[in-house]
Amino acid sequence: MFESFRRSAGERLQRPEYHADFRRTYESGIRFLNKLERGQHFKERGFASWEAFAAGKWNEALSLIEEKRDIYAQQFRKAADLGIFERRLRVVEFPVTPYVQWELFVLRLRVELGDHIKVLDARKISDLEKTHTVPEVVILGDVVMYEVVYDEDGNAAGANRLTDRALITETSAGFDALYARGEEFFSFFEREIAPLAPPYVRT
């Protein structure tokens, strides 16, 4: 699974180029968006909730997530207006990292608003990750997909743009297979995330 993806080389886009290309393609008539999220340590500078989380202010971080409610709701209305069906699969390693613990609270809001998110325990795909992890990828219909790129510090740095139709079809099939193996978000969240103590964040 994802063997061709690992051998592929796309066009590298810096972050502003990636965002512009994403928006153009998103509004071009695609029918679906699939996102596979694998990394366990990221930084989301400028997101007030993440900034509070990074500063060790857990309760404040959780309360600030609500600031995104209207923004997310607008995103989902736009997707519906464009006829785009969106899915996300979040791979989670154990023990859960502080970042993922925080992010799953953000994703909980998105699911409450109608996002289609499943969670996959990384231990269940260890057979697929003997040499490489599954890719960090966003697939926009059968038109383009992006391998999301981060710098060494965990900051979003752009993406590799891939347009080969056979590669997109193969990668989409891999996503579908993993998504089918994923667990419904709320059952995972209530069992694995809700009982956790506030995370310790190193500064």
Q: What is the pLDDT of residue 201?
A: 87
Q: What is the pLDDT of residue 1?
A: 84
Instruction: Tell me the domains of the chain and their CATH numbers.
Output: 3-193 (3.30.870.10)
Q: What is the pLDDT of residue 174?
A: 97
* pLDDT, tens digit, 9 for 90 and up, residues 5-33: 888 888 999 999 999 999 999 999 999 99
CB-based burial, 109-148: b 16+ in 10 Å, e otherwise: bbbebebebbbbbbeebeebeeeeebbbbbbbbeebbbbb
Q: What is the pLDDT of residue 203?
A: 57
CA-only gyration radius of the chain, Å: 17
* Mean pLDDT, each 10-residue run in order, the chain (203 residues): 85 96 98 97 95 97 98 98 98 98 98 98 96 96 95 88 96 97 98 97 74
Q: What is the pLDDT of residue 104?
A: 98
pTM over 0.75: yes
Q: What is the pLDDT of residue 183?
A: 98
* pLDDT, tens digit, 9 for 90 and up, residues 57-67: 999 999 999 99
- Give the contacts of 18 (CB within 8 A, at least 6 positions apart): 146, 158, 159, 161
